[in-house]
Chain A
Amino acid sequence: MSTLVFLEHHDGELQKDSLGVLGKATQLGGKVSALIAGSGVEALAQQAGRFGAGKVYIADDPALEAPLPQPRVDVAADLVRRQGFETVLFAATVLTADVAAALSARLDAGLNWDLVDLVQEDGKLVGKRPALDDTVYVDVGWKNEPKLALIRTGTFEPVETGGEAEVEKVDVQLEDFSTRATMIEQAHEESEGPSIEDADVIVAGGRGLGGPDNFALVEELAKALGGAVAATRAVVDAGWYPYAAQVGQTGKTVSPRLYIAVGISGAIQHKVGMQASNVVVAINKDPNAPIFEYADLGVVGDLHEIVPKLTELVRQRKAA
């Protein structure tokens, strides 16, 4: 078996989830290679070697500076065609989902997404994919090669093998349409105050709050519990709360002792950011909200009634 793992990087570091997928690829066996595409990224090759890549292909070009998908599709398609990899793996992110999907069309190759495991069964690669809000697990496969897969955020931990990779630079030839989209601005928001990643107790608010002013309810409860405030992507994008407080796929990954979800429906993108929490309590008026599938205690009801009462009860207990 020969596997190519697409490695994403940011600020001169290979991403942890990418390295985790690399580790999984080495466990599955066979020849494991990695592709790093960017500008000035040669130095990252050795890091990939230490985490299991036998060979690292470097696509280094100013046109690959911005983290945009289409030029990366050209590079990956060229490489896969030349080397004939049987499997191409991606740790799912905003960037790699687009790269993998376009590669699927370009190479007429099957793509399975949101996988939480990969196993060899009877000599066949099988992907495990949770579906319908994670209420069923589906065994998925591929009818041809290369087999493309996107692995869910936070699935595999990197494994340091201490290996050394053979490095090869690849030619970068881009399609005319691939460079039409250009990055105008990148804003990396830094968090202010204590990070939610270190918080012991988190109270998180979602769209069910109804408006930015109601975040006060969440803040009061968090204060009473001595915890931090978090928010979902929907409310951050709507401008109700700062990005630094966002939990989920494109936000922070948290693992507090207690996570209270207020008015959060609980999409998978949110779940991957908080599933390591020890105890999860959810308050939501919609009894069908997916969050109830993974909350230790789910309370169906009006958060505007429940949360202020809960805050008061916690305060009384602390004062006693």
Chain B
Amino acid sequence: MKIAVCAKVVPEQARRIDPETKRLDRSGEPTLNPFDANAVEEALRLKGDDADAEVVLVSLGPERSLDALRKALAMGADRVVLVSDDAAAGSDLVASSYALARALEREQSELVLFGQQANDSDGAVMWAAVADRLRRPLISQVAELTVSSGAVRGKRQTEFGYDVIEAPLPAVVAVSDAINEPRYPSLKGIMGAKKKPQETVSLGDLGVEAERAGEGGSRTEVYAIGDPPPRGETQRIEDDGSGAEKIVEFLLERKVI
């Protein structure tokens, strides 16, 4: 089985939106979106010892994302396809999902996996847009996943309890971060990662028309960035052994005990 994992590289400690471009400041150290590590782990679990199975990472981002994507290779993924193009900068859901779908069409994997959300944009929407573009069945928020006899079955939590949903392959599945504990790459894995295939493709290579990419291909925009509405004082203390006493004092002061 071939599994494509869609992964995003995000800035570590994203704490700032650039007032000039109104985009997220991506100057921080690039790192694999931690929620995508769950998708990588699940793909590796499904692959198991099957030598014919392949786990390919598909990502959209600047060239320097490759360093962070190598973490997934070190965990055990087989190769990386990075869609990298200056013209893709500023892409929103519509533009990104289009480029990603074109890259996934090229891979023709039986299963496409996503993590639960991007921890920079807090977006939890990409998989449904991609599944629609690929015209494939979708199961999202999956906390338990099984694949057998050409079908995928996922258990997931909703507002009302638990659903068990099944879909024939090829399918798109988004996993929740409760599904597993991602492994740490071994030293051998880290050493081997550099030698694994890492391909960079442009939008042109995928046949993505210029007008469907970047800001021109996007349908949303940012007008302004402001402060959140004021909220009450927040106090923060470091526990020096008297943390519990200080909590009690605070609770008494606020008359909640």
Could you say which residues of chain A place their CB within 8 Å of the CB of B241?
305
Minimum CB–CB distance for A255 against chain B, Å: 13
CB contact under 8 A between A278 and B256, given known A132-B17, A187-B161, A298-B237: yes
Q: How many residues of B contact A (CB 8 A)?
A: 84
286-308 of chain A: CB within 8 A of chain B: 287-288, 292-302, 305-307
A313 partner, pick from B127, B163, B227, B244, beta carbons under 8 A: B244
Is A93 in the interface zone, CB < 8 Å from B?
yes
- Lowest 3 A-B CB distances belong to which pairs? A301-B239, A237-B178, A110-B219
Is B46 in the interface zone, CB < 8 Å from A?
no
Complex interface bits, A64-76 against B, C-beta within 8 A gives 1, otherwise 0: 0001111001000
88-126 of chain A: CB within 8 A of chain B: 93-95, 97-102, 104-106, 108-114, 126
Majority DSSP secondary structure for residues of B touching A? mixed
Which chain B residue lies CB-closest to A288? Answer: B13
Report 13 cross-chain contacts, Cβ distance below 8 Å, ordered by A residue.
A70-B137, A94-B141, A98-B138, A99-B128, A102-B138, A105-B98, A111-B219, A175-B135, A177-B135, A181-B138, A233-B176, A234-B178, A258-B257
Which chain A residue lies CB-closest to B169? Answer: A180
In the bound complex, how far is the Cα of B226 from the Cα of A89, in angstroms? 24
Q: Are A183 and B234 in contact, with the CB atoms below 8 A?
A: no
CB contact under 8 A between A300 and B236, given known A94-B156, A98-B128: yes
Q: Are B17 and A300 in contact, with the CB atoms below 8 A?
A: no
B50-58, B201-209, B246-254 - the one binding chain A: B246-254
Q: Are B234 and A180 in contact, with the CB atoms below 8 A?
A: no
Could you say which residues of chain A place their CB within 8 Å of the CB of B132?
70, 73, 101-102, 105-106
Q: Are B166 and A300 in contact, with the CB atoms below 8 A?
A: no
Minimum CB–CB distance for A122 against chain B, Å: 10
Which chain B residue lies CB-closest to A92? Answer: B124
Q: Are A138 and B225 in contact, with the CB atoms below 8 A?
A: yes
Q: Are B137 and A180 in contact, with the CB atoms below 8 A?
A: yes
In the bound complex, how far is the Cα of B138 from the Cα of A68, in angstroms? 9
In the bound complex, how far is the Cα of B251 from the Cα of A278, in angstroms? 12
Is B89 in the interface zone, CB < 8 Å from A?
no
Q: Are A130 and B237 in contact, with the CB atoms below 8 A?
A: no
CB contact under 8 A between A94 and B158, given known A105-B94, A136-B228, A297-B250: yes
